[in-house]
A = this chain, B = another copy of it.
Amino acid sequence: MSIESNLLKKERQNVTFSVEELTNVWDGGKEDTEIRRKVVKVFGDDPVLKSPPICTMTREERYTEATRKCVYIFRNMLQKNGIYPGSKEFEHFWNAMPIEYTLLIHMGAFIPCIMSFGSEEQVAKWLPLSANLNIICTYAQTELGHGSFLRGLETEATFDRETQEFVINCPKVSSMKWWPGDMGLNANHALVMANLIIDGKKYGMHPFMVQIRDLSTHMPLPGVTVGDIGSKMGFEAIDNGFLYMKNVRIPRENLLNKNSEVKPDGTYVKKASDRLMYGSMVNLRVNLPKSQAIDVLAKACTIAIRYSAVRRQGLLNPGGAEVAVLDYTLQQHKLIPQLATVYATKFAGEGIIKKHQAFLQNMAKGNISDLAEIHALSASFKASVSEQCTEGVEVCRRACGGHGYSQASGLPHLLSKVTPTCTYEGENTVLYLQTARYLVKCAKEKAADLPESILFLVQPIQNARGNITSLDNLALYFKNRAALCVQAASKKVNQMSNKGLAMHEAWDKSSVQLVHATKAYVIQYIFDAFASFVKEVKCSKSVKEILEDLCCLYGLHYINNCSGDFLKLGILTAHHCNIAEEAEIALLEKLRPNAVGIVDAFDFTDSSMESCLGAYDGNVYERLFDMAKLSPLNKEPVHQASYKYLRPYLLEGRDILEGAKSKL
């Protein structure tokens, strides 16, 4: 057994709580852990899903492998293993997916959209075709020159009464569809969002089913220019595409007409409110943080903490041996707060998922009164979590020194997976401002008119008493800060407006404060939700203590990094801040012996991380060496480029270097 393996073994012997129990808490119960493991095993055992490590493949190979595996999974594996939407197995299914996959937009965006936008008849036609991969369809909304501002989109669908068709056109280069996943190479249909035009009158954005490739030859149809947009940071295996349409004709029936319809004579009929559309957007946003950001940070923590427990460097004690880098306070100060972020955001996110499920039940009864609250909460939560997790993954990556740059560490891949969550499904700054609008509105309302989650905004400020590091007091600090920040930002908008600025100018000039206030609001939500969860969760004393410590650490670390607000607003004194700093260092020391146990509890398989640094056995150096040998540049012992470009000069050197080994 290598020295490194032995070190990890010792770490595990010193853990003071039941790792299996924490795994169950993480999964949501013992039964869930079992189901997850079952699904993960089915996928892990299937030889068809084996691929070379992604860090040894070109982008084209990664796309090819991901497509091959996904077609197999969606056509063969799900049904065979009883993994249906709605089943418990399905909930854990993303945990078992290969590291890279395509058809995500087809399965995860198009199919929900057809169900939201299509009439019963249309759903009956398109749903089975797409579920069976008889068609591959992308969701084509963003354009080259237009992102999150929906009304700015320029693609047009003009009704031709004579032929009973819509004619789809991208009037300019900048109006071509750009970015949708699965669109470049795989999709033969696109759900195109386009401006409906009847008799020269514009009716705004509507969803149209447009065939873009031939079903037999897979060649682009006439009028269609389609392809891959090229290499990106993240989603390398996916064929994010461009789609330029010139006079592409589709039958009238291809307008998805659940909410609005065009009659054969060109009459436009509005059938339902567009507000219902928000329901599915919120849906995506509610479910994104866990799988695309929090789990990613959890993996980065697993890698960095296991590696830090076996990597030795320098002499903490000048007389002794080299010590594990995890024994340095500064390394703990980098990594352990990231663990706290994982737990805080995961359990806070579950609170939002529950709220959203209740909302969906109400919506089914036609009651959408909670829409504004759930929208504001989920938007700012997505924005904040994506930023915290991106920052956290980068902290973990850099804490691994040089090897954190190696693709073999798995960390650069995690970074490029998590970073885009700051931008897709709503750019974060735009989302913060949307929530700010809700908060400013709420701050003017009476308590009786507000949902519980937002009440603190208008209630009297409560003072903390006793131990400043208790979870109750920390929750109070965050609430007070959020309330004061929202009030200050609202006041600023009013002041600007009173100075004579138009409302949109006053809003823009206050936007830095508005975003700041929204961040304060969502952090108070996260801390409060996590603290409530920790109080209520049923588990052993030792596991509860871990959760309490992580919760306290989350609060203290945030306060210590952001003490300006708390001081400026009079919530904390300089003395408090000093106590908070000391308390954080003490917590790091306390959590240190359990750090490996806490990441073990995430229960990630080695193959789900493809990390030489983070594997369960700790054999980091053998793994790095084995992976290096697979580098495509090592295929031959002499690379043709060095031979071709350097050899003439090396030969000159041979004559000068007497005795040098040249073997001629």
Contact = CB atoms under 8 A, between A and B. Distances in A.
A363 B219 CA distance: 71
B621 A216 contact: no
A448 interface: no
A163 interface: no
A512 B653 contact: no
How many monomers of this chain does the complex have? 2
Interface in A43-74: 55-56, 58-60, 63-64, 67-68, 71
Interface in A327-343: 328-330, 333
Contact of A316 (B59, B242, B508, B515): B508
B407 A230 contact: yes
A412 interface: yes
A622 B185 contact: no
A625 B568 contact: no
B402 A147 contact: yes
Nearest to A179: B402
B641 A185 contact: yes
Contacts of A504: 315-318
A401 interface: yes
B405 A420 contact: yes
A144 B404 CA distance: 12
Interface string A415-459: 100011011100101000100000000000000000000000000
Interface string A487-510: 000000000000000101100110
Query: In the complex, which range does the number of interface residues on chain A fall in?
Result: 35 or more
A217 B638 contact: yes
B211 A661 contact: yes
Contact of A511 (B67, B330, B512): B330
A95 to B, nearest CB: 24
A272 interface: no
B71 A231 contact: no
A423 B402 contact: yes
Given A218-B650, A649-B134, A632 B149 contact: no
Contact of A314 (B152, B229, B640, B652): B152
A217 B328 contact: no
A214 B661 contact: yes
A364 interface: no
A239 B641 CA distance: 11
A662 interface: yes
A133 interface: yes
A587 B556 CA distance: 33
B568 A628 contact: no
A574 interface: yes
B60 A407 contact: no
Contacts of A420: 405
B631 A229 contact: yes
Q: Which of A420, A641, A656 has the most CB of B within 10 A?
A: A641
A1 interface: no
Given A132-B649, A215-B650, 17 more contacts: A55-B230, A55-B231, A58-B59, A144-B625, A173-B622, A184-B634, A219-B663, A229-B631, A234-B405, A239-B639, A242-B625, A329-B509, A330-B515, A563-B567, A563-B568, A564-B567, A564-B577
18 contacts: A55-B231, A63-B641, A129-B653, A129-B657, A133-B650, A136-B646, A149-B313, A211-B661, A214-B663, A216-B662, A217-B638, A218-B638, A229-B624, A233-B412, A239-B639, A251-B659, A509-B585, A567-B567
